[in-house]
Each structure stands twice: as structure tokens, then as C-alpha cells.
Amino acid sequence: MADSRHGLLLVDKVVGGTSHSVVQQARRLLRQKKIGHCGTLDPAADGLLLLTVGHATRLTRFLIQAPKVYLGEIQFGVTTDTYDADGEVTAQASIADLTRQAIEAAMPPFEGKIDQLPPAYSAKKVNGVKLYELARRGEEVPREAKQVTVYEFTATSELVDGRIGFKLSCASGTYARSLAHDLGEALGCGGHLASLRRTSVGPFKVEEASTLAQLAAALEAGEELDRGWYPFDSIPLPFGQITTDAQQQRRIQHGQTILVRELASEEGDWVKLVNQRQQFIAIGTVTERVSAAGVGIIQPKVVFA
């Protein structure tokens, strides 16, 4: 792998492992302690997990906000305490009269900006304690509704034995388990998330990714694993890019503002700053638009040596 110390690694996570365990394994394989991930996947879910490596860990907060797409299945007629197939069954109901048409008619209210309660068994923290830790101890789990954004929530298969496939496109922070549970409640029969696979995060696709087993095999064989690897300088970010000259670069390295021309970004926007060799040197924000002609001032916020 070309310079595995700094960059973005796309991993196809398998069912069973936690996002944290994937990070731990990647640290051992790449011999790099500084590795983070951009959005948790539950143990029962598989698919795309973005790992930030080395300097790229400072980009996690920008990449984690990217919209995500999932494919999955919902099982109706059975409700569980975790809202997925790993939980204890808490209720069962007849689905004899349930149809695909009824399910599709109940899905549109879950699109757009909606208030969503996180599952009681989730990694969301309250006062520094994860909700699932409280739930496992039998303690009351304080849950507050949070506004999330769902771009698409549609059925993708026929209804067979109470199970139907779906596609979900949503903003960061949305719980697919809660959508499955709440849809079942709206239909009056209950339901839970039977399976879930994340297929994309922003511009990144699971087809580009490698499993940890593939990564380990390639490293053991001494091969370069270019699949799913973005070197630090070429990591795509969800905002504009500006090429700086030598004088601007010196100011950036000292955290000083720079004046730029032909600025397409608006005041308050983030921008990626590269030098004339297209090396990634900083992320800044547009603090002021000096003129309508595109002259503006940028303040470096995250500077890389």
C-alpha cells in the first residue's frame, strides 16, 4: 500500500464485528496507532466503513457528516428490544392482512426532516454513558428525540413472509433500526430491522472497499493494496479547493489569513488548501467576501505540517 501512514481506507465491514474492532484490527495491520472511523456500523450491519489514517484522522469530523445510503430488510410482526434481529422479542402480531401497498403508503411520512428517538440499545451517550450500557443494567434509559433527515425511504422488493427489502438514504445520525421499528408501529403490527448493508458514504462506494481479510492477505503477500485506499493529498472533501502560492503557504503554516481571488465559496464555507504541487496543507474557512468579484479572506483552521 502506498504510504499507509496517512490517508483514507475504505473497508467492507462484515457482520459481527463492531466499528471499534475494525479500527483495532486496522491499527495492527497498518502498524499505525492513529486511526479513526467516520460513522458507526452496528455489529449486525455490514458494508462501507471509512477509516481515517494518520494525519487524516483530523478530517474525520468533515467526512462523518456525509450522507449515507443503505440497503436492508424489515421483518414485520415481530418487535424486539434492540429494534433489530439480535434483540429479545417483546411483542408479536398478525401480519395476515399486511400488503406491500400498505407498507409503501406508510413510508413517505418518514422522509424529510423528522424527529426520531434513538434505540434504547445504542451507542449514543447520555452524561458520558452509552445507552446500551444502561439498558443492559436494567436501568431507565433517558432518550430524547433528535431531528434527522431522511432523503429516501422506499421498498425495493415484494413482501414475503412478512419481510420486505428497502433502500434508505439519510443524513448522518439517522438510525435505520428506529425507522424499521417506527414503521412497524405505524402499521400496527410492529417490526424490526432484519438486515442492513451500507452501500455508500458521500462519494465513496462499497464496491471500492476491501475487507480486513483481503487487506491482511495483501499485506502478508507484500502486495500494494490500492483498492479502497486514498492517499492523504487526494482525499475528496465535500467543499471547494484552492491552490496557494509560496507566500500564501508560508502564511498558512503560521496560521495567518490569506487573501484569495476567484473565490467560489461563500462566507462561512470550508475550503481545502493545497500548494502548487497539489499537496494538502490545510483546511480553512472563508471569513469575509471582500468583493463580489470573488476576492475573499480565508482563515486556516486545520493546518498540516
β-sheet bridge partners, residue 91? 79
Classify residue 54 by burial, with Cβ atoms within 10 Å: 0-12, 13-18, 19+.
Answer: middle
Q: How far is CA 249 from CA 42, 63, 211, 277, 283, in A?
A: 42, 24, 38, 12, 12
Q: What does the block give as the cell for 192?
A: 424490526
Spatial distance between the Cα atoms of 204 and 142, rounded to a whole number of angstroms = 35
Spatial distance between the Cα atoms of 227 and 253, rounded to a whole number of angstroms = 32
Measured in degrees and rounded to the nearest 5, phi and psi for residue 64 equal -70, -20
Annotated catalytic residue 42: yes
* Nearest Cα to Cα of residue 274 among 299, 245, 294: 245
Task: Catalytic residue, from 12, 42, 46, 182: name it.
Answer: 42
Mind telling me the catalytic residues?
42
